[in-house]
Amino acid sequence: MSTVLKSVQEAKAIAWDTCHKIYVLMDDEQVQKMVEYGYKDDMLTKDELTTEQMMNTLEDWYANSCALRFIQAVKTVKGDPNKGFNSLVEQGEDWVR
């Protein structure tokens, strides 16, 4: 099982900046932060999509992103928010599902 699929199965939502940043949001606090950051129109939750639909959407977003694209899972880590980022697809890496 791919790391992207495993993360999506446990995720609360996915978000995209419509350029190159794609996030798999692992908890409700991260979903709220993305709304605050303006991702509301380019964010889809588990309430809206199945895991398979989320994977298809990620695949579409990735195909339509610029060359600097990446996919990161992000969860809330108290004390050091940078520790909550986990690279699922490195920047510039080709991703084949």
Domain that holds residue 77: 3-89
Is residue 96 a part of any domain in this protein? Answer: no
- The values of phi and psi at residue 81, to 5°, are -60, -25
Tell me, yes or no, whether 97 lies in a domain. Answer: no
For residue range 36-77, list pLDDT tens digits in order: 999 888 999 999 999 999 999 999 999 999 989 999 999 999
- Beta strand residue intervals within 1-97, DSSP E: 13-16, 21-25, 43-45, 70-74, 85-89
Tell me if 20 is assigned to some domain.
Answer: yes
The answer as to whether 94 is a domain residue is no
Q: How does the average pLDDT of the chain come out, rounded?
A: 94
pTM: 0.94
**What total number of domains does the chain contain?**
1
User: Which of 1, 52, 44 lies closest to 25, judged by CA?
Assistant: 44
Which percentage of the chain shows pLDDT scores above 90? 82
Query: Per residue in 4-19, pLDDT tens?
Result: 999 999 999 999 999 9
Q: Cα(89)–Cα(93) distance, rounded to whole angstroms?
A: 6
